[in-house]
Amino acid sequence: MSSNTPGHGVATGSLFVISAPSGAGKTSLVRALLESCPDMRFSVSFTTRPRRDGERDGEDYHFVTHEEFERRVAAGDFLEHARVFDNFYGTGRREVAAQLDAGQDVIVEIDWQGAQQVRRSMPESVSVFILPPSRAELERRLRGRGKDSDEVIRRRLAEAEAEMSHWREFEYLVINDDFERARDELVTLVRARCLRAATQAARHATLLRDLGVGD
Residue pair 170/128 in contact (Cβ under 8 Å)? The answer is yes
148, pLDDT greater than 50: yes
Most confident of 1-5, 80-84, 142-146: 80-84
Domain boundaries, the chain: 3-43+104-210
Q: Which tens digits make up the pLDDT trace of 182-200? A: 999 999 999 998 888 888 8
pTM (2 d.p.): 0.83
Backbone angles phi, psi at 181, to 5 degrees: -65, -40
Strands 106-109, 15-19: pairing kind:
parallel
Cα separation, 51 vs 66, in Å, equals 14
CATH of domain 3-43+104-210: 3.40.50.300
Cα separation, 195 vs 96, in Å, equals 21
- Give 202's pLDDT tier (boundaries 50, 70, 90): confident
Average pLDDT, the chain: 90
Residue pair 7/100 in contact (Cβ under 8 Å)? The answer is yes
User: In the β-sheet with 62-63, what is the strand arrangement from edge to edge?
Assistant: 62-63, 46-47, 87-92, 78-84
Q: What is the DSSP string of 60-118?
A: TBEE--HHHHHHHHHTT-EEEEEEETTEEEEEEHHHHHHHHHTT--EEEE--HHHHHHH
Q: Which tens digits make up the pLDDT trace of 164-186? A: 999 999 999 999 999 999 999 99
